[in-house]
Structure 1
């Protein structure tokens, strides 16, 4: 469960016309397509869709997972960035791969937020949960010459109706939710500026085009260490243990009663066979025991909260309820 406070329920399904089209491209029980007629073996080349631009947290996760799956599977897992619509383009293409177990997707919070706020043909239940890799808590950062030293000073400025711009990576991402929770707590409104990736957010922040941003620490720790940006607070239950982040106070220490974790993981298309689903779960469990997994978690400063298959599906049910309570 993520630490947000309320909850309702999830929504859309694929149209009948879409299902006809998807059936035509979903494949058969041969050539690694994972039908019910036998044990599944993946193709020599497997695709990992990343629905966001190269360089951001989703891209880093997708590439790390893809590389980590190559050893237990013997397949080459190739990353494909499909950018647009705050992730909707990549997820929509993935929906068209229903039934094809040789395509995976590096997933995160957009799996729930997109169907909540946009008119898309999918929701999280249209796909097959394989592995939750870990959790990522936002930190709020500013340019080094910004007049803010704490998150509370940002809130105070917004309360006084200062013209304050807050960058978000995607219109529905975890930073968007974090800002919404802060706005709700203090009855303020921030001027949001939306970018397609955290890399673009960081560039805008360093260039002085926006005032503040809420982002994942692994994506900006280099800029924090170099002094190109400064941290204001961590929207986490407690301070990070990582030495590079240990001195950053939590929002709660500053009176900001908001914590929010983005999960990262990967999913398979809907409509795959049980043997294919179990194959990817077993491969994911092998990846979770590897040095490659530890390296990804530590280098990106995540919390190693892994879940697989049905347990991951239950987590997604709760997470979707929480997201809808904020955005629905």
Structure 2
């Protein structure tokens, strides 16, 4: 009997040790740990602060797919449009500390706090990667009487020229403001929520001119449904499809400004989470998916990460303050 009791006691001790070991291992791990390293807490979500179909949506979906490929993490895309981007950014602000949320960022992140009463600025978030620079083209319907950017400026001196902008703080709003400052003319603006809505209105003859990213209108330019008058870039594009389009500067309108495309994480995440997403972004940059995104959207590749991205944002924010305040 004594030996039987001792036997059960030994078995109980071994079981207790095993359970204790399992409990300790569970307590020392976090959701998503992989071989002791950091991983996001479950599936990730990419917030796009504009509606589907525009440049921000294209960017967000390309980044999500690229990061998903290099990390193995499922990344869904969620459009939260409204308020020229303010709705999406405000929703993202509420995700502070969450390591599995990302947002497809662009110039609106800087412009919104300068022009609207919002509760955030770029320092509220964790900058991860700037993919590159996205300039715009001044485009019109194929039957428009305008043939150059100078024609548009000359017309605006004498009559009402209706210009569409995809949000009151968008890149096209900034570009038209810069043109007004440089030439002294004034445009009659009609705001829309996305580049796709601007494109539809231009094709429908409801507006006169629009400033859109090449990636949003390349198909219409190639089909002849739109014509480009000039590019608001420092130099002409090297892409074959755009090489013949003169810059605004060539036509006497000294304006160039690029919207950045990139992604951010919420504020308050750990250093490990920040480095995880930066490392994933760097791996994404080396992929065919990144090259395809840059080329298909006719962008200028210029990737920077982390602290370098912050430095870029500081300078870009200072430039925008001169225009928007």
TM over 0.5: yes
Work out whether 1:217 is the aligned partner of 2:210: no
In 1, are the aligned partners of 2:42 and 2:100 still within 8 Å (CA)?
Answer: no
TM-score, scaled to structure 2: 0.89
Q: Which residue of 1 aligns with 2:190?
A: 193
The whole-number CA distance in structure 2 between the counterparts of 1:30 and 1:267 is 23
- SS across alignment from 1:213: strand
In 2, are the aligned partners of 1:39 and 1:276 still within 8 Å (CA)?
Answer: no
TM-score, scaled to structure 1: 0.88
Gaps of 5+ in 2: 1-28
- SS across alignment from 2:322: helix
Match of 1:167 among 164, 176, 179: 164
The whole-number CA distance in structure 1 between the counterparts of 2:262 and 2:224 is 30
The whole-number CA distance in structure 2 between the counterparts of 1:31 and 1:76 is 14
For 1:1-328, list aligned pairs within 5 A.
30-32=30-32, 39-160=37-158, 162-328=159-325
Q: Which residue of 2 aligns with 1:8?
A: none
Q: Which runs of 4+ in 1 moved over 3 A?
A: none
CA drift of 1:163 comes to: 1.4
- SS across alignment from 1:305: strand
* Superposed CA offset, 1:4-41 (max 9, x none): xxxxxxxxxxxxxxxxxxxxxxxxx94359xxxx8421
Q: Which residue of 1 aligns with 2:5?
A: none
Bigger helix share: 2
- SS across alignment from 1:49: strand
- SS across alignment from 2:129: strand
In 2, are the aligned partners of 1:83 and 1:89 still within 8 Å (CA)?
Answer: yes
CA drift of 1:43 comes to: 3.4
Gaps of 5+ in 1: 1-28
The structure with higher relative contact order (CA 8 Å, sep 6+) is 1
Cα root mean square deviation, aligned: 1.2
**Between Structure 1 and Structure 2, how many residues are aligned?**
295
- SS across alignment from 2:241: coil
